[in-house]
Chain A
Amino acid sequence: MAGMMVSRSLVVDGGRRLLKARRHIMVLYIANLLLGWFATFGLSSRIGPVTGLSLNSERLVRGFDLGTFLELVNKPEVALYSQVPLGLAFSGMFVIFQLFLTGGIITQYLAAEHIDRSRFYAACGESFWRMVRVALIFVVITALVAGAFYAFRAALDVAVERSGHARTAFSLKSAVLLIEALALLWIRMWFDVAQTDIVASDARRVRSGVAYSFKSVRSAVGLYASYVLIGILMLLGTAFAVFLWWTAAPPSHVIISFLILQSILAFLIALRWWQRAVAADWYPRNLPVRAAIQSAFLKPLPPESAVPEVPLSQ
């Protein structure tokens, strides 16, 4: 962080915008929770009959016996791997749901006041396909960058394997991974700004919005520093909560374990959307021309009666 100027107001004002949209973030977390819960239905119905009446399952309750767990999940009637498609499906649903809410939440971030439900969902609907297209471009670019890093790391692996200096190799690979993470974070920031721009300017040409955002964020040091700072907070908070769970939660108390693990997940969602809020806060300060369009976008919708009716017979 040395040399990087973290804009205090960006982080703090981003936090204010996040609080303004807290209901929607809560909805997102609840969706995450519910879809995660649905993903357990298959496993739960398979594990229940095996463990429910067996004394052996006590080895999983008092502590966590890895051998007992592995034997359980490898039983044909449990077959943990068979539950993976269900988990993937519900995870995918969450991604789609998040894509759907993104436009609405960004609209809320950009608005001076609380927007009502109809405007929120209108913004969600209007932005949905644009968000999908932005996400697809993001995935392609991320895959290219991650692929390049992967190839570099593979080459590094070959080189360090020959050297036999395992610890140095680990340090080197960790450094490369850190650089990769920072690069991917920068790309994420770029696309967060692009999403904000598309919502704010009601731009229909997604690719030009992405290109415009790229030009805009190239020298956005303060914004990037804010992203890094929130990223560090994410890591520290998660590490602390995992430590708490590991050391303080009694193995047999499922409720305590559930609460700690869920607080980690809620925390991660909140901080991720804090980053987006920071992008939304940065956007009108730094891109005033296109942001001007946003104020028009936030004018009240015309009343329903103003929509010309088209006779069905035609």
Chain B
Amino acid sequence: MTSGTVALILCCGSFASFAQIGRNQAPLSTRIVHYDIEATYDTTSHTLDATEILTYKNLTGEPLSTFPFHLYLNGFQRNSTFTRESHRDFPEEEWKPSYEGAIEIRKFEVIGQGNLTSRLQFVSPDDHNPNDRTVVQVQLPRAIAPGESVEFRIQFHDKFPEVVARTGYKGTFTMGAQWFPKIGVWWHGAWNCHQFHETTEFFADFGVFDVKLTLPENQIVGATGLQISSTNNPNGTKTLRFHAEDVHDFAWTADPRYKVFEDTFIGTAGSVHIRTLMQPENAEQGSRYNVIARRAMELFDRWYGPYPYQQLTIVDPATFRAGGMEYPTLITADTEWFMPKSLLLPEIVVAHEFGHQYWYAMVATNEFEEPWLDEGINTYTEIKVMNAFYGADRSLVNGKRVTWGDAEEQHFSYERNPNFDPIARYAYQFASERSYGEITYGKTGCALLTLEGLIGEETLQRALRAWFQRYRFTHPNGTDFLKTVEEVSGRDLEWYFKQAIYGTEVLDYEVSSSESWPSKWYDAESPTLSYHSEVVVHRKGDFVFPVEIEIKFDDGSHVREHFDGRDRWVRFSYDEKAKLVSAEVDPEHKVWLDVDFFNNSRLETGSGNARRKLTNYWMMLWQFAAQVWGWLA
């Protein structure tokens, strides 16, 4: 019996012993990894020392001798790829010494193959940056056969940065994310282990996490999975033990100032404990988080399927830089103590991050290579949740005089920069962080809303349900998603996906002219009994998309026309007793990819109401400015 086999048995034993803790008797995922980590966190120096025992089961079907690991915390160094890209996009951001973070592997052993620390080698597969240390790989002396398991014993030391992005400390608050050496994913016949980039997120295999975290007794802690024990130590620290199954990452947070709110959601898979950790300043807003979390859970449960975990932890971080982030069974939200109720940003963040429990945590797509599959689909479902509860026109700003819908906000984000990058692009290959955000979130959200208009809301909901049910706890790709939509809708949508997902064509239709004139215009003395009317619809962009046109007449009648968009323009002519009142492309407002909603319609009689209203405000603004400067005189 080899030591590797012993490790496998021990590993299987630990799987079995914890099965009772999870809700599900049978594993939900193919558990490729088992992380057993014992860590001690020093809240003063913001450092962590840990030993990680990682058991990796080789299910690749071929022998493996090279293993890559992510060391994300090394991204927070001056010459890393992450920092270089961040500086490119935000040159005004200063670098502070406290932003320096690091993860150092102090000892790397492979059970049965000895201490291989000296064999560790940093690699930079994406940009060949020799200063980037976010991926390390090791070549084993002996390959791991298919079906065999390998056990890595890694001693590592973390130095958390002051939070720059997602992870680190701020005051007494700590967010422990991407904090341990995490193995890459064998995917499509090769290791997939990208460097840490400004715009990329994460990708990892499912498995089990057993984490023992030792830290001062006064710390209030939240983490992925369930806390199964807490032991006070003689030196004023405590050791918390967490267990999580069928997840692909483990994050934790600690702060002695947290106010804890508890809630419960009863779903089709049973009850879910919602544990909300609030900054004391924001404590009054804890109920806002919980209300939208329950609502989102209810809709996701009904629309796509059950949330199978027993707990959801919502973290209110001490800084927005750690906010709006997803980890398995734990999300970070974002708010301010003065956030008005009519501004639904906290609700949107929670609805979005909870959505990631489906589109990231369970349907675990590759966030490096196809970020639209998690962020884009999740933006769409976030819009659906927000619209369901607050109404489409006021799901972001729900004010008495001012309103703004979540979908409109995504449209505004996308229409400013619609053709720089296609949706289907590696996250780190976008022109900029801005383009990444506008396209991955905004354009994908609009593309799915447009798809909804094309195949129907209920059909797209069924497609998303099938996508979830079929691919949860796996690593599907974009083609899988598009095939699922085609299969469920029963339609060939390649023409649409080719333009919307893979292309950069801009969709823009306009009513370029519309007018009526007397049919006998040449006979001035003849009474006008009928009118000849013409409407010309023009496809301004290169995106070909079928649209409806509604034409209204002054006797109250209206007609619906269809334009397949293949030609550049189309003319509709009418001889009626009534004159034209208006012509409108996409009257039901289904085509969210259209970059300009203003040119979609044309009224025969113009109205100056909007102009007068806006110029009134503009005038008031400058009068006031003049008075303010007049105060200096």
Contact = CB atoms under 8 A, between A and B. Distances in A.
Interface string A63-85: 11111111110110000000100
Interface stretch (B228-236, B298-306, B402-410): B402-410
A55 B601 contact: yes
Nearest to B612: A254
A52 B607 contact: yes
Contacts of B412: 67, 70-71, 74
A87 B615 CA distance: 12
A164 interface: yes
B401 A64 contact: yes
Most buried by B among A54, A164, A252: A54
Interface stretch (B105-113, B166-174, B450-458): B166-174
Interface string B402-446: 111100110110011000000000000000000000000000000
Contacts of B397: 66
Contact of A40 (B257, B597, B615): B615
Contacts of B12: none
A24 interface: no
Contact of A90 (B400, B626, B632): B626
Nearest to B601: A55
B603 A55 contact: yes
Interface stretch (B61-69, B219-227, B465-473, B617-625): B617-625
B524 interface: no
A52 B608 contact: yes
Interface in B540-580: none
Contacts of A58: 610
A162 B403 CA distance: 35
B606 interface: yes
Nearest to A64: B402
A7 interface: no
A164 B598 contact: no
A170 B409 contact: no
A71 B612 contact: no
Given A71-B597, A75-B598, A261 B281 contact: no
Interface stretch (A12-20, A92-100, A105-113): A92-100
Contacts of A43: 614-615, 618
B584 interface: yes
B402 A102 contact: no
A122 interface: no
Contact of B629 (A36, A44, A92): A92
B401 A95 contact: no
Given A66-B403, A94-B626, A166-B281, A61 B415 contact: no
A66 to B, nearest CB: 4
Nearest to B624: A265
A164 B279 contact: yes
Interface residues of A, number: 71
A36 B632 contact: no
A272 B408 contact: no
B409 A67 contact: yes
Interface in B324-352: 336-338
A56 B626 contact: no
B619 A40 contact: yes
Contacts of B404: 65-67
Contacts of A39: 618-619, 622
A261 B598 contact: no
Contacts of A40: 615, 618-619, 622
A98 B630 CA distance: 7
Contact of A166 (B279, B609, B613): B279
Contacts of B625: 87-88, 91
Given A51-B610, A53-B602, A64 B624 contact: no
Contacts of A138: 632-633
Nearest to A37: B619
B596 interface: yes
A218 interface: no
B447 to A, nearest CB: 18
Nearest to A165: B281
Nearest to B173: A164
Contacts of A53: 601-603, 606
Contacts of A36: 619-620, 622-623, 626
A55 B584 contact: yes
A60 B614 contact: yes
Contacts of B24: none
A90 to B, nearest CB: 6
B582 interface: yes
A251 B401 contact: yes
Contacts of A64: 401-403
B499 interface: no
Determine the interface band of chain B, counting residues with CB < 8 A from chain A: 35 or more
Nearest to A77: B598
A33 interface: yes
Contact of B403 (A65, A90, A170, A258): A65
A32 B623 contact: yes
Given A36-B626, A165-B281, A47 B633 contact: no
A167 B599 CA distance: 46
B577 to A, nearest CB: 23
B604 to A, nearest CB: 8
A95 B626 contact: yes
A71 B614 CA distance: 13
A163 interface: yes
Given A39-B618, A40-B618, A55-B582, A265 B599 contact: no
Contacts of B396: 67
A183 to B, nearest CB: 14
B632 A135 contact: yes
Nearest to A46: B611
A54 B602 contact: yes
Contact of A87 (B584, B621, B632, B633): B621
A162 B171 contact: yes
Contact of A139 (B337, B338, B600, B632): B632
**Most chain A beta carbons < 10 A, residue from B279, B621, B625:** B625
Contacts of B609: 57, 61, 252, 254
Given A56-B598, A57-B607, A165-B281, A74 B416 contact: yes
Contacts of A50: 598
Contact of A98 (B611, B613, B633): B633
A258 B626 contact: no
Contact of A102 (B172, B173, B629, B633): B633
Contacts of A33: 619, 623
Contact of A47 (B584, B599, B601, B614): B614
Given A43-B615, A57-B610, A166-B337, A269 B627 contact: yes
A216 interface: no
Nearest to B584: A55
Nearest to B604: A53
Contact of B632 (A54, A69, A142): A142
B393 interface: yes
A61 B173 contact: no
A74 B411 CA distance: 13
B595 to A, nearest CB: 9
Contacts of A32: 623, 626-627
A35 interface: yes
Contacts of B522: none
A10 interface: no
A100 to B, nearest CB: 10
A166 B619 CA distance: 36
Interface string A143-181: 000000000000000000011111100100000000000
In order of increasing CB-CB distance, the 3 nearest A-B pairs are A67-B408, A164-B171, A36-B623
Given A43-B614, A167-B281, 5 more contacts: A56-B598, A67-B405, A95-B629, A95-B632, A247-B400
Interface of A: 32-33, 35-37, 39-40, 43-44, 47-48, 50-58, 60-61, 63-72, 74-75, 83, 87-88, 90-92, 94-95, 98-99, 102, 131, 135, 138-139, 142, 162-167, 170, 188, 246-247, 251-252, 254, 257-258, 261-262, 265, 268-269, 272
6 contacts: A52-B603, A54-B601, A64-B402, A67-B412, A83-B618, A268-B624
